[in-house]
Amino acid sequence: MLMDKVGPVKSKTAAWLNNYQSKIVSSDEALKILKSGDNVVVQPGCAAPMELIRAMVRRKDELEDINLYHILTVGPLPYVEPGMEKHFKHSAFFIGANTRKAVNEGRADFIPIFLSEVPLLFKNGIIKSDVALINVSPPDEHGFCSYGIDVGTIKTPAEKSKTIIAQVNNCMPRTLGDSFIHVNKLKYIIEYDEPMQELPQVDPDITPDMLEIYNQIGRHIATLIEDGSTLQMGIGAIPDAVLKYLKDKRDLGIHTEMFSDGIIELIESGIVNNEKKTLHPGKIIAGFILGTKRSFDFIDNNPIAEFHPQEYVNDPFVVAKNYKMVAINSAIEVDLTGQVCADSIGTKFFSGIGGQVDFIRGAARSEGGKPIIALPSTTKDFKISRIVPALKPSAGVVTSRGDVHYIVTEYGVAHLYGKSIRERAKALINIAHPSFRESLEIFAKENFNI
């Protein structure tokens, strides 16, 4: 008997159940619908439908020029391996570790775009999807499956696709919000249970010196966060460090493109209660989770959180409706005028625009809001400054100097909004690593007359 997250589906009231059962096939049977030249959108992140991906790759010798679209995924991605480029071409809206080499070697592509606009490419027909591959929870008693831990950039594209193939997976949490699809919209159903891909918070290779730097950055950011603020933060050492220093705060809220394991302790301790939010009070609003089973279990059927498509979550005008919205984002390098590079290292693409600009602009327009860019002052080997005279040739300006308000390193906070170029350069030199301040000052004197 089909099981949902609560118990057996009540067949007396489930008029959709026969339709559901008639759509169940094997993954190999379902993927026969693919034909050369098709555009395929794949549910990304920790929710990637791995069994459907494996079945698609098993058909590689029968297929050519399959175009695959998604933001980053977690775990193995066989269709970007060398030798697959004749069969599959991936276009990344945000580059993950498992696709970075393929993008920079020309076996995959990168589409620079604000995260809020990724679903609009499909909604507005700029990219037409033939097939969507999704990973969903079992249906509830009304026939609705949840997109689970990744709703943001898949719900709209999937439902604009000609064909939707769903991996119905008992391991997928049932998340709430605008996060459901009815079984009647599915072409094929594969009942296949496997755990979600996991992305742990802690970098096992982090050194004690770098950990202390991140902690210093976290302390500085925490001083900017007031009681009653609503937060956006991602995954990584800096967000983790910030969370450590919020334990004396009160009535914090969350409105974020994604979250991870780190916020659970703040929720359980009552520090994050969402009660002072001016938009969706009492609720965490997010698009997806990048984390581990701890997050997945916590969020399963939990009414504290609502998941929504990214065109809503990341809309700067929506973000700005949150009082005291604090956006915390990272960078690869920042130049002395305040330009922020966050997606590339010179000509080498590293990640993507993501939601940085969406939230920086939303927080800037929030009453009492604070848009923050945070980064260590140097690379991990301490040999290269990340506060630079000028960005590397071909480096991408993700956040413009006109959008920047606060830049934070382990040496402090530079408040740049409304400041002249000379004032900006002085403020940024003050938070650069001491080993590089003299060379930065020489450049600033020669170019900005400070």
**Mind telling me the catalytic residues?**
257
The tokens for 344 are: 């590339």
End-to-end CA distance of the chain: 75
Q: Which helix (H) or strand (E) holds 316?
A: helix 316-319
Which residues is 288 bridged to in the sheet?
150, 258
CB 39 within 8 A of CB 46: no
Report the alpha-carbon distance of residue 106 to residue 270 in Å, rounded.
48
Helices (H), 15-153: 17-22, 27-30, 50-58, 100-104, 118-123
User: Per 3-state DSSP, what percentage of the chain is helix, strand, and coil (rounded to 5)?
Assistant: 30, 20, 50
Count of beta carbons in the 10 Å neighbourhood of residue 436: 18
Q: How many residues does the chain have?
A: 450
Distances from the Cα of 262 to the Cα of 84, 238, 292, 350, angstroms: 37, 11, 10, 24
CB 242 within 8 A of CB 220: no
